[in-house]
Structure 1
Amino acid sequence: MEFPRFTFNPKEGIDNPALVIADDPEPDARPVPRLCQLKHLEGQSFGFNLSVDQSGRPLEIRDVEPWSPAEHSGLRNGDRLLEVNEEYVGSVDFRRVVRKIWWSGVHLFLLVLRKEDYEQSVSEGLDLQKLAEASKGDGWSRPRLCHISRDPDHGLGMTITSMNAGQQSRFHVSTISDGPAERAGVRTGDVLLWINGVSASALTSSALNRLVRKSVDSVTVLVIDGDGEACYVRRKMAILPAVARSSTLPYNAKSMHLVKRQEGYGFLLRQERVTSPQKIAHILREVDEGSAAEDAGMEDGDLLLAVNGEPVETMEHDDVVKTIKGSGDRVSLTAISMEGREFYREMRISPLLFHEEHFLNSIEVQGETSPRNPTRPGKDGDKQGSGSLSFLEPPEPFFSQPSHKTDVFL
């Protein structure tokens, strides 16, 4: 028996009722956040504006400057900010987000969504925090920055093993139970990424041994577990102290909240030359006994890091003075001892990097301050943003939601 021949004519389509072609079901296509890795030079801005409306949301990226670190990283106008340095900020107070960016140092990692994807996610009721976490993949964990003090009996309490002895290689760590390294947060099986400010990938086994022997009293290491490292590799993301957790560093900055008295604050701010690449520093001197400054914890010789949360180390001295005076009768100063500043300089990280929790605790203990216009003046002729940081409108006190649209250039 001869069957009728079927001929497909693309102009007429398929006219054989026996043929049914169904489209494959569409996968659950959820918006994918984008990771932007920024790095700026000392004294340079990141080159973008962060904005919120009167409700305090969303955190919107605006005014990305051409040729800036922000544009180079792929950050775009209208992007909605989800994470800063691997921490979700979607429900965090605006000024805390600003401080996290200000205090991150020269490296900054932002996770963002396109405006359209953000609005779609909100309209569909998606959990943005889970969306951010899902973008990192299985096995994600943050690196840990651990300061290990040498024990007279057990030394550092860890052994570092090279996977390729005699050449640049990966180093794995094993610890003794309840030894100095383990108590500092290091775990057996961790990958060593960084030691005393030096990338482990740049060291041979012999160079690493020399560095450890040279560190008589302590070492500071950046470590991560193997699954966490693999996750960062998949994301093509650098593993740096800026994204780490830390709780064991020997020096911490302190925030002091001063209320002016009849005799003033009771201290002198001097510009002095110090032994570091910075060369010039703003030093707190002549703290009067019983003054507002002494009661807040200020000590002679402290190095000033920030005024009202804004870093000032690279600012001109006159501009720092103007910022303090412009705060009115209340001001928040963040400072560190000279020994602490030297430690962070040797580690090549900002002394403000892990200060957020200490800042919050001191706010709770001492009460709120109300910086009135924490603006960094630029040099004459500079456009705003060419190395300047400013609130474009007078902000409300820290930790309160703004009652109007607020922008901060970063």
Structure 2
Amino acid sequence: MEFPRFTFNPKEGIDNPALIISDDPEPDPSPVPRLCQIKCKEGQSFGFRLRMERSCRGYVVRQVDPWSPAALSGLRDGDRVLEVNEEFVDNMEFPRVVQRIQACGLQLFLLVLKGEEYKEALAQGLDIQALTRAYRGETCSRPRLCHITRDPVLGLGISIIPIEGQKGQYMLSTVSEGPAKRAGVRSGDRLVWINGAMVSTLTHSAISKMVKKCSVHVTVLVIDRESEASYVRRKLPILPIMAGSHNLPHRPTTMHLVQGSDGYGFLLRQERLTSGGPIAHLLREVDVGSPAEEAGMQDGDLLLAVNGQPSESMEHEDIVRTVRKSGNRVSLTTMPIHGRDFYTQLGLSPLLFHEDSLPEGEGMRKTQSPCTENQDGLSKNEHGSLPCPRLCVLEREESGFGFNLGCVQHEPGTFIGQVVVKGSGHRAGLWEGDVVVEVNGQNVENEYFEDVVMLIKKSESSLKLLVVERSGYERLKHNGLPITPGVTLHSTQVLEKTNDAFL
């Protein structure tokens, strides 16, 4: 078959409907977040420091260790963290963000923006949370971890149906008003995980046997079809650490104790739960009418955190020291001891599903306003949080640690004077005017200038300063709240017997 010879005539141009020249569409100016999937090995840290800095809004990534899991994931110095494990945290109080990261185990998913893009988005008045929704897809929701209790008549109220032609894929059908539906499962949900096992590796027969063995309850991880498509598109695994929880038992609670004339009224004991098993910190001998009993403490409760700091890996002496440093108030996160077995079976940290962090009336609320007053007159900072002490780790350079120390003449107490730009103190997060609370773990609030200088000079290569901004220091003291570290996440040092929260 012969085709006619084509001859171009410049006067006539090209008459070909397949060749249409159109203007390029205008590029979307909105910044696009990026996802960093950080995986570390047992005993290894993620390799970055998270900060809340006075000069900017948002939670800032600093000092990403070279070749660390964080660096290999693409996390960079100056990035702003928007989500932790698919949960929006830009307007969440800082200690809670820390706890979310500490409790996630060996995998961490951070959705971040470059620092410059974050500032530009704020300058343009963009909704930061809307950017994260656009990245995931407007119809995408987090997975749901649902705890179903068997009904004597309806059973669990679900049917597990294999999806034809898709090995290891299962869909759920629920009974109207049944236990599964009440626990948050919806008809059409995809089953991802059951009692700690990923169903993609199980046959339908194996899953059926597993469900039959569950005489009282079963815990499942589910996701709707549209959200599953978003995870597949982004090449993300669907994991329990990303889930919202529904109807979970034994959820941790936080008790806020005010010391009485005879103390708090309980004993802390380090006990081995079973022969050859793990050691746990238990609360014992709760005195009748004591602050501990009034706060709801039960004999044998398992201690999970002190003032928001996880206590599982702490030594007994460290916990006692932390409580004593808290002054006349302390916050203890606990749960019944039998709840440990439930979360151990699921392979999850109970702190993943804990919400409370400060007493009602002193609690940190999600807010965008720069400064509000709560019922106790405690001024909040720009993140909606109470003033938070900061543990700053400085490395000595040729010119020293990069700051000057100041004091009020003839009075105890010191503060940070001038901070050298881009020096060790500046990189570690020191601010001019910060009150120095501790030097290398030693409290110096009542020490004079000369003695504090001598302590600093004894630091040969590194220096740890616990500091808090002046106004925050005065408010914390006035209200008897603890001044303890726990807002800095770092990976290069794992300090024994301290209150530091390092990742």
TM range, normalised to the smaller chain?
Answer: 0.7 to 0.9
After superposition, the Cα gap between the structure-2 partners of 1:365 and 1:216, relative to the gap in structure 1 and judged at 3 Å, is farther
Kept after mapping to 2: 8 A contact 1:37/1:108? yes
Deviations 1:364-409 (A, max 9, x none): 499989999797x99xxxx99xxxxx995358569x9x9xxx7444
For the residue of structure 2 that corresponds to 1:38, the secondary structure is strand
After superposition, the Cα gap between the structure-2 partners of 1:44 and 1:336, relative to the gap in structure 1 and judged at 3 Å, is farther
For the residue of structure 2 that corresponds to 1:135, the secondary structure is helix
- Could you say what the CA RMSD is over the residues aligned between the two structures, in angstroms? 3.5
Kept after mapping to 1: 8 A contact 2:308/2:357? no
Give the residue type in structure 1 aligned to 2:241. A
Partner of 2:311: 312
* Inter-partner Cα distance in structure 1 for 2:27 and 2:277: 54
Kept after mapping to 2: 8 A contact 1:326/1:373? no
Matching of residues 3-14 of structure 1 within 5 Å: none
For the residue of structure 2 that corresponds to 1:262, the secondary structure is coil
For the residue of structure 2 that corresponds to 1:338, the secondary structure is coil
For the residue of structure 1 that corresponds to 2:327, the secondary structure is coil
After superposition, the Cα gap between the structure-2 partners of 1:22 and 1:199, relative to the gap in structure 1 and judged at 3 Å, is closer
Give the residue type in structure 2 aligned to 1:268. L
Identity %: 54
Partner of 2:249: 250
After superposition, the Cα gap between the structure-2 partners of 1:111 and 1:302, relative to the gap in structure 1 and judged at 3 Å, is same
Deviates further, 343-352 or 45-54: 45-54
Shift of 1:23: 7.2
After superposition, the Cα gap between the structure-2 partners of 1:99 and 1:55, relative to the gap in structure 1 and judged at 3 Å, is farther
Shift of 1:56: 6.8
Partner of 1:199: 198
* Inter-partner Cα distance in structure 1 for 2:23 and 2:390: 58
What TM-score do you get using the length of structure 1 for normalisation?
Answer: 0.81
* Inter-partner Cα distance in structure 1 for 2:353 and 2:155: 27
After superposition, the Cα gap between the structure-2 partners of 1:333 and 1:394, relative to the gap in structure 1 and judged at 3 Å, is farther
Shift of 1:113: 0.4
Partner of 2:348: 349
Shift of 1:67: 3.9
Shift of 1:93: 2.5
After superposition, the Cα gap between the structure-2 partners of 1:25 and 1:259, relative to the gap in structure 1 and judged at 3 Å, is same
Partner of 1:210: 209
**Counterpart check, 1:148 vs 2:222:** no
Matching of residues 354-373 of structure 1 within 5 Å: 354-356=353-355, 358-359=356-357, 363-364=360-361
For the residue of structure 1 that corresponds to 2:353, the secondary structure is coil
Partner of 1:393: 467
For the residue of structure 2 that corresponds to 1:134, the secondary structure is helix
After superposition, the Cα gap between the structure-2 partners of 1:72 and 1:298, relative to the gap in structure 1 and judged at 3 Å, is farther
* Inter-partner Cα distance in structure 2 for 1:127 and 1:204: 44
* Inter-partner Cα distance in structure 2 for 1:269 and 1:93: 29
Partner of 2:69: 69
Shift of 1:277: 8.9
Kept after mapping to 1: 8 A contact 2:53/2:60? no
What TM-score do you get using the length of structure 2 for normalisation?
Answer: 0.67
For the residue of structure 2 that corresponds to 1:256, the secondary structure is strand
Higher RCO (Cα < 8 Å, 6 or more apart) = 1
* Inter-partner Cα distance in structure 2 for 1:257 and 1:5: 85
Shift of 1:284: 0.9
Partner of 1:137: 137
For the residue of structure 2 that corresponds to 1:152, the secondary structure is coil
Give the residue type in structure 2 aligned to 1:169. G
User: How many residue pairs align between the two structures?
Assistant: 377
Partner of 1:12: none
Matching of residues 8-407 of structure 1 within 5 Å: 24-41=24-41, 44-54=44-54, 57-163=57-163, 168-275=167-274, 279-356=278-355, 358-359=356-357, 363-364=360-361, 393-394=467-468, 407=488
After superposition, the Cα gap between the structure-2 partners of 1:27 and 1:258, relative to the gap in structure 1 and judged at 3 Å, is same
Kept after mapping to 2: 8 A contact 1:61/1:78? yes
Give the residue type in structure 2 aligned to 1:332. S
* Inter-partner Cα distance in structure 2 for 1:328 and 1:44: 33
For the residue of structure 1 that corresponds to 2:70, the secondary structure is helix
Where structure 2 has 5 or more consecutive residues not aligned to the other structure, the ranges are 1-7, 12-20, 364-374, 379-385, 392-439, 442-460, 491-502
* Inter-partner Cα distance in structure 1 for 2:342 and 2:73: 30
For the residue of structure 2 that corresponds to 1:221, the secondary structure is strand
Deviations 1:220-275 (A, max 9, x none): 00001111101011111121122211130121111111111221111111111124
Give the residue type in structure 1 aligned to 2:252. A
After superposition, the Cα gap between the structure-2 partners of 1:301 and 1:126, relative to the gap in structure 1 and judged at 3 Å, is same
Give the residue type in structure 2 aligned to 1:74. G
* Inter-partner Cα distance in structure 2 for 1:155 and 1:149: 8
For the residue of structure 1 that corresponds to 2:235, the secondary structure is coil
Kept after mapping to 1: 8 A contact 2:390/2:467? no
Kept after mapping to 1: 8 A contact 2:174/2:186? yes
* Inter-partner Cα distance in structure 2 for 1:256 and 1:202: 41
Kept after mapping to 2: 8 A contact 1:392/1:407? no
